[in-house]
Amino acid sequence: MTTTKGLEGVVATQSSVSSIIDDQLTYVGYRIDDLAENSSFEEVVYLLWNLKLPTKSELDTFKAELASNMELPEAVIDHLRSYDLSTVHPMAALRTAVSILGLYDEESDVMEEAANKRKALRLQAKIATIVTAFARIRQGKEPVKPKKDLGFAANFLYMLNGEEAKDVEVEAINKALVLHADHELNASTFTARVCVATLSDIYSGVTAAIGALKGPLHGGANERVMKMLTDIGEEENAIPHIKEKIANKEKIMGMGHRVYKNGDPRAKHLKRMSKELTKTSGQSKWYNMSVKIEDFIKEEKGLPANVDFYSASVYHSLGIDHDLFTPIFATSRVSGWLAHILEQYDNNRLIRPRAEYVGPKTQDYKPIEDR
């Protein structure tokens, strides 16, 4: 048996959802650059689930279905209120709330394809409502119900802030959601596929995936990027701070990637957004500091910025709490998880690799009094 640490380079499944070839990312063959510039998030979700772009009327219907499924059962909101609001991280709240949501979906364990598609839609629709309801409850505010005439990105900001956002803010969130929607067999998507390959249900698969996304080596990096920037404080401290981290063998959050060695194609969009949005909000120092760090790490370690690096200053400049950065990632990535879950069900086989045993050789059992 040969083992590959971290499964690097192992091709574990076939997929038609997204691809990374020669450092280019496509969703169903459509270049991420085109989608980021032109698509609504709903259009991308439709693409990932149906493997084709929608017509105008298909998109209108899909948007309306999503918007009309956004409200949460009151019982889920009551659960959110019952958490220890001073300590619970929003990713932990989201993970638990999605699991609870499954208890209130009467089709939770119905495994027919049509039922799975209906559940996917209901779950995608409700995820932003969970994130924003929790964010408001912990501030002592009432959750805001979604508006049926707003798109997904606009509803997210509306439910978060209790007032309709400016177009430029909606466009920024929409683009961030498009850029985060899917990414081949990343750790959380693989987790979702492993879970449902046992023929477990969609809510279990997404709950498991949220747990995997939460970690700092994956989606949890974006919150840590902002922590690093705020610890640095001022531009002139950036390089000394990073040098110290490297000397202590600490990883620089938002840098490096398992697949991209020459640059993450999503990062340039977020970098551009960071430049514009930090300038508009009078906080260019976060962008300037980020550029210094990116250039230094590229030069010193040959590592490129990943999708998490500039998303931090983008969300910060929109006034979003730092611990909501990863839940926003999840709000988008659930679309990819669901696409992969549906694909897994469609051509399923249990995912069960082997482990190379490196423990002690066969040992003779000793009764407890002889040990």
Ligand X SMILES: CC(=O)SCCNC(=O)CCNC(=O)[C@H](O)C(C)(C)COP(=O)(O)OP(=O)(O)OC[C@H]1O[C@@H](n2cnc3c(N)ncnc32)[C@H](O)[C@@H]1OP(=O)(O)O
The residues binding ligand OAA (CB under 6 A) are 183, 186, 257-259, 306-307
> Which one of ligand OAA, ligand X, none is in contact with 303 (Cβ closer than 5 to 8 A by kind)?
ligand X
**Contacted by 32, from ligand OAA, ligand X, none: CB < 5 to 8 Å by type:** none
Q: Helix, strand, or coil here: 158?
A: helix
119 interacts with ligand X by CB under 6 A: no
Rank residues 54 and 220 by Cβ distance to ligand OAA and give the closer one. 220
- As given in the structure block, the two tokens for residue 235 are 């531009």
Based on the shown chain and the rule CB under 6 A, indicate whether residue 327 belongs to the binding site for ligand X. no
Rounded CA separation 165/235 (Å): 30
Q: Which does residue 31 touch among ligand OAA, ligand X, none (CB within 5 to 8 A, set by kind)?
A: none
**How is residue 358 annotated by DSSP?**
-
Q: Strand 24-27: give its sheet, edge to edge.
A: 18-21, 24-27, 30-31
217 binds, among ligand OAA, ligand X, none (CB under 5 to 8 A by kind): ligand X
129 binds ligand X (CB under 6 A): no
Dihedral sign, CA of 43, 46, 50, 56?
negative
Q: Does residue 120 come out as left (phi exceeding 0), alpha (psi in the -120 to 50 range) or beta? A: alpha
308 has catalytic annotation: yes
Does position 253 interact with ligand X (CB under 6 A)? The reply is yes
- Residue nearer to ligand OAA on the CB measure, 183 or 241: 183
Would you say how long the chain is, in residues? 371
| Count, residues near ligand X per rule CB under 6 A | 18
> Terminal CA-to-CA distance of the chain, rounded, Å?
33
What part of residues 178-237 is at the interface with ligand X (CB under 6 A)? 217-219, 221
Q: Which residue has the tokens 């932003």?
A: 128
CB 257 to ligand X: min, Å = 5
- For residues 111 and 208, what is the distance between their CA atoms, to the nearest angstrom? 18
**Binding site residues, ligand X, CB under 6 A:** 6, 217-219, 221, 251-258, 301, 303, 306-308
